[in-house]
């Protein structure tokens, strides 16, 4: 009886360890899928919570710089900035208070425009860090880093501006 019980506990323990890794891999894939949808929709509300703290800070810095440039611009310059970044005058005016609006700009979405059509190749998880390798529709092989923050996998984007 004791051996059967010990064997069952040991077996359950050995099976549980790989399941955790699979769960983290699945959660990273889910975060990537959410990122793809957010980029495709150019939806700041969907994208913002998917970004890690360092990426959010970089976005805040880029938004502040754009807001300052917009504030200094003459009316024609403001129109050009609105067109270049794809934000309305009202959105440009809100950038200081709502820096997350920057993630829906043409400039930001343009940097990541190939992500929505990409296919996941492999996910490697090591503790609270993960790397997701993917293939873009044109065949380019790329990768993104993810970190676990507040119990959720978040993407670390190297290029914000």
pLDDT tens for 8-43 read 444 444 454 454 445 899 999 999 999 999 999 999
Q: Give the architecture-level CATH label for domain 25-156.
A: Roll (3.10)
Mean pLDDT of 56-62: 95
pTM exceeds 0.95: no
Compute the C-alpha angle 145/36/101, nearest 5°: 90
CA 149 vs CA 43, 49, 53, 94: distances in Å: 21, 11, 8, 27
**79-137, pLDDT tens digit by residue?**
999 999 999 999 999 999 999 999 999 999 999 999 999 999 999 999 999 999 999 99
């Amino acid at each position: 009886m004791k051996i059967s019980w010990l064997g069952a506990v040991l077996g359950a323990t050995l099976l549980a360890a790989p399941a955790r890794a699979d769960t983290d891999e699945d959660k990273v894939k889910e975060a990537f899928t959410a990122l793809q949808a957010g980029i495709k929709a150019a939806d700041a509300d969907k994208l913002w919570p998917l970004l890690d703290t360092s990426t959010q800070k970089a976005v805040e810095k880029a938004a502040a710089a754009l807001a300052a440039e917009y504030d200094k611009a003459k009316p024609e310059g403001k129109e050009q900035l609105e067109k270049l970044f794809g934000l309305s005058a009202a959105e440009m005016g809100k950038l200081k208070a709502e820096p997350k609006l920057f993630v829906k700009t043409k400039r930001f979405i343009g940097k990541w425009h190939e992500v929505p059509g990409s296919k996941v190749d492999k996910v490697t998880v090591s503790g609270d860090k993960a790397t997701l390798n993917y293939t873009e529709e044109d065949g380019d092989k790329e990768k993104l880093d993810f970190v676990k923050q507040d119990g959720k996998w978040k993407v670390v984007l190297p290029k914000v501006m």
